């Protein structure tokens, strides 16, 4: 943000002046919270009685020159409303408008206020008081095409069931495990997003933890739980060891008040963080069984303490890729604590139960919600929503999309995107046009995989190669890693990433795992797999080697190489290649040997 002007004892700051960013509203509120924290330090340092009020609004403004020197400033209703919010805010408070609230929903803890009567407005304004940033920073789904916002179709009954389960868990204190099961693209993540949106505006306070499994971490013990705690405690992958220790200690102390430092060190070491020099661990003399026993005990104590404060939800995404030790540890928590307001919500594909047939057995309460393909009527509703800007949708096009997608929402979206790529559907901000002549000349692929392959083929060469390189890094990847893979032949990597975002192949994540990086994710695991398989094997080997070297470099900087040996080894394993000569060579060799024996 930029300071626009000083008005007496007030300051006006603006975001989106030079460049609009999707998180401008979020950054404005972070700035407001930082001002509050800094004011506490100033009062203590100078023994002052000083307070501030802050008002934040979002909307269009007029830029014009004022005064004798022609100073450029913002004017208009948006500015006036922000000023009214500031004067109406409680002392020490941050008051935001509904327009701002819609952009930060799920990122901050806010309290809905009574509608505010404002001079110059015929209707009262709905306003919200910001309390704090949410540690998990859940962001609503960005699903949609070309900026079209669609409502969830065909999952109302499942959403109501989730709401009822939540109320039961909260009121009756029944520890509960819920599995939402469905094939890829069937709508598991969308159902979860709608549940989270409802949960956010529900009156109940919730303690929220979120973890996601990936194909790359399937064989890494406790990777799922480690990611869950890293997200909750905001631990970055390139944080120094002292920083990791401090964040873990502070995070655990928020819930476990007694002997929290010792428990934090045991729990962190058990999850794979480097606590080997901790004096608290000296008592077990490196005994792995004792570390495991204490890790399981303190994990149960941690979630029990969280649930005693507020109803606690543990969200586990894509557990069909989860490491077995993490899943077993979660089950252990549920069995140890059968009467807590604790809800574990997991998302899985059906094959998960082939490898884990006992999932849900001997749990106090287990509920499985199976998602099936959408019926014909609801498939038509979905297509109508996506094509809502089209002045007229021919029946032939409507039927083609519905029949090809066979009730799979993700397939329907990707098919429509392919039609946009091929000029059958011509989009602009206001109205979409349908060109049936181009449809007749188009060979529509019969499967989702072939649709995705067709979309890849339509990309510009630079965009396609950038996406292929990203797929080698993983479903989640970083711009700095891509630059290493690109070397000097792709100097405009950021441009190609922007192109891929615009076409919704990838999305940017707001909480990157590494500092000074941009983090991205493929929209769907199926898209990631299709892209990866399109990379020539000899090229794949080179990319894997470069990705591994990048991980070696960034983890050496933070002195945390041993924690990432498994991730590095996975990049070396696709083609048995010579490992680098470095301080972690022996550890990498052991990990690669283990990887190949497991394969």
**Which range among 428-432, 489-493, 594-598 has the greatest average pLDDT?**
428-432
Report the alpha-carbon distance of residue 321 to residue 223 in Å, rounded.
Answer: 10
At residue 292 the predicted structure's pLDDT band, cuts being 50, 70 and 90, is very high
Express as a percent the part of the chain with pLDDT over 70. 89
pLDDT of residue 296: 95
pLDDT of residue 136: 47
- For tokens 């089950």, the residue is 331
Neighbours of 70 (CB within 10 A): 8
Residue 367: both structure tokens together: 């509920």
Identify the three-state secondary structure at position 211. strand
Which one has a higher pLDDT value, 146 or 193? Answer: 193
pLDDT of residue 119: 79
Mean pLDDT for 522-538 is 89
pLDDT at 593 over 50: no
CB burial of 191-202 (b: ≥16 within 10 Å; e: otherwise) equals bbbbbbbebbee
At residue 579 the predicted structure's pLDDT band, cuts being 50, 70 and 90, is very low
pLDDT at 495 over 80: yes
pLDDT of residue 1: 84
pLDDT of residue 77: 87
Residue 510: both structure tokens together: 């707001």
Could you state, in order of their start, the residue ranges of all structural domains in the chain? 2-133, 156-370, 376-455, 541-599
What one-character-per-residue DSSP string does 71-102 give? Answer: EEEEESHHHHHHHHHHHHSPTT-EEEEHHHHH
What one-character-per-residue DSSP string does 281-300 give? Answer: GGGGTT-HHHHHHHHHHHHH
Query: Which range is least confidently modeled, 287-301, 411-425, 438-452?
Result: 438-452
Handedness of CA 265, 267, 269, 273 (dihedral sign): negative
- For tokens 């060891």, the residue is 241
Residue 297: both structure tokens together: 């005990």
pLDDT of residue 576: 39
Report the alpha-carbon distance of residue 459 to residue 531 in Å, rounded.
Answer: 12
List phi, psi (to 5°) of 575: -135, 120
Mean pLDDT for 497-513 is 86
pLDDT of residue 577: 47
At residue 167 the predicted structure's pLDDT band, cuts being 50, 70 and 90, is very high
What one-character-per-residue DSSP string does 185-250 give? Answer: TSSHHHHHHHHHHHHHHSSS-EEEEEEE--GGGTTSTTHHHHHHHHHHHT--TT--HHHHHHHHHH
Write out pLDDT tens, residues 332-347: 999 988 999 999 999 9
Report the alpha-carbon distance of residue 111 to residue 295 in Å, rounded.
Answer: 36
Which one has a higher pLDDT value, 140 or 34? Answer: 34
**What mean pLDDT value characterizes the chain?**
85
Query: Which range is least confidently modeled, 234-238, 265-269, 316-320?
Result: 234-238
pLDDT of residue 206: 85
pTM: 0.67
- 87 and 57 in contact (C-beta within 8 Å)? no
At residue 581 the predicted structure's pLDDT band, cuts being 50, 70 and 90, is very low
Distances (CA, A) of 26 to 75, 96, 288: 22, 11, 43
- 592 and 584 in contact (C-beta within 8 Å)? no
- For tokens 């109501």, the residue is 160
Least Cα distance to 208 among 100, 301, 309, 296 occurs for 309
Fold of 156-370: Rossmann fold (3.40.50)
Residue 428: both structure tokens together: 């602009």
Q: Does the 2-133 domain belong in CATH 3.30.70.1230?
A: yes
At residue 172 the predicted structure's pLDDT band, cuts being 50, 70 and 90, is very high
Torsion region of 406: left, alpha or beta (phi above 0 gives left; psi -120 to 50 gives alpha): left
Mean pLDDT for 590-598 is 46
């Amino acid at each position: 943000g930029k300071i626009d002007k000083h008005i007496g004892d007030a300051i006006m700051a603006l975001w989106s002046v030079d460049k609009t960013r999707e998180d401008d509203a979020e950054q404005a509120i972070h700035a407001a919270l930082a001002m509050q924290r800094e004011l506490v330090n100033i009062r203590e340092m100078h023994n002052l009685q000083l307070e501030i009020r802050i008002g934040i609004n979002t909307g269009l403004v007029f830029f014009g020159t004022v005064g004798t020197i022609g100073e450029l400033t913002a004017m208009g209703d948006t500015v006036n409303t922000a000023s009214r919010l500031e004067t109406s805010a409680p002392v020490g408070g941050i008051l935001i408008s509904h327009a701002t609230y819609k952009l930060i929903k799920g990122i901050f803890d806010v309290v809905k206020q009574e509608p505010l009567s404002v001079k110059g407005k015929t209707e009262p304004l709905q306003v919200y008081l910001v309390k704090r940033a949410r540690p998990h920073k859940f962001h609503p789904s960005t699903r949609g095409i070309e900026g079209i916002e669609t409502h969830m179709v065909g999952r109302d009954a499942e959403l109501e069931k989730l709401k009822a389960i939540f109320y039961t868990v909260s009121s009756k204190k029944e520890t509960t495990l819920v599995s939402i099961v469905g094939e890829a693209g069937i709508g598991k993540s969308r159902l979860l997003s709608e549940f989270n949106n409802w949960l956010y505006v529900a009156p109940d306070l919730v303690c929220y933890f979120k973890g996601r499994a990936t194909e790359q971490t399937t064989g890494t013990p406790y990777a799922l739980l480690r990611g869950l705690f890293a997200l909750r405690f905001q631990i970055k992958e390139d944080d120094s060891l002292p920083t990791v220790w401090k964040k873990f200690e502070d995070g655990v102390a928020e819930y476990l008040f007694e002997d929290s430092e010792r428990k934090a060190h045991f729990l962190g070491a058990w999850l794979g963080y480097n606590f080997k020099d901790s004096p608290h661990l000296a008592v077990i003399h490196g005994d792995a069984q004792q570390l495991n026993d204490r890790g399981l005990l303190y994990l149960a104590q941690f979630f029990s303490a969280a649930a005693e404060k507020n109803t606690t939800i543990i969200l586990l995404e894509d557990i069909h890729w989860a490491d077995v030790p993490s899943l077993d540890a979660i089950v252990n928590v549920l069995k140890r604590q059968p009467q807590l307001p604790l809800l574990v919500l997991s998302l899985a594909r059906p094959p998960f139960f082939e490898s884990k047939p006992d999932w849900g057995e001997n749990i106090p309460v287990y509920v499985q919600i199976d998602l099936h393909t959408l019926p014909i009527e609801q498939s038509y509703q979905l297509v109508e929503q996506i094509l809502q800007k089209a002045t007229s949708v021919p029946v032939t096009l409507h039927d083609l999309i519905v029949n090809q997608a066979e009730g799979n929402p993700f397939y329907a979206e990707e098919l429509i995107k392919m039609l946009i790529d091929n000029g059958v559907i011509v989009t602009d901000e206001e109205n979409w046009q349908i060109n049936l002549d181009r449809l007749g000349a188009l060979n529509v692929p019969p499967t989702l995989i072939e649709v995705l392959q067709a979309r890849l083929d339509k990309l510009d060469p630079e965009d396609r190669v950038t996406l292929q390189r990203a797929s080698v890094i993983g479903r989640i990847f970083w711009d700095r890693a891509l630059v290493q893979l690109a070397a000097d032949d792709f100097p405009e990597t950021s441009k190609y990433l922007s192109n891929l975002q615009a076409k919704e192949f990838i999305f940017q994540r707001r909480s990157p795992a590494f500092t000074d990086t941009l983090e991205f994710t493929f929209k769907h695991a199926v898209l990631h797999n299709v892209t990866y398989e399109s990379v020539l094997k000899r090229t794949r080997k080179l990319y894997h080697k470069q990705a591994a070297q990048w991980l070696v470099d960034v983890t050496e900087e933070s002195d945390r190489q041993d924690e990432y040996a498994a991730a590095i080894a996975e990049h070396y394993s696709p083609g048995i290649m010579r490992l680098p000569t470095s301080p972690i060579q022996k550890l990498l060799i052991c990990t690669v040997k283990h990887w190949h024996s497991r394969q």
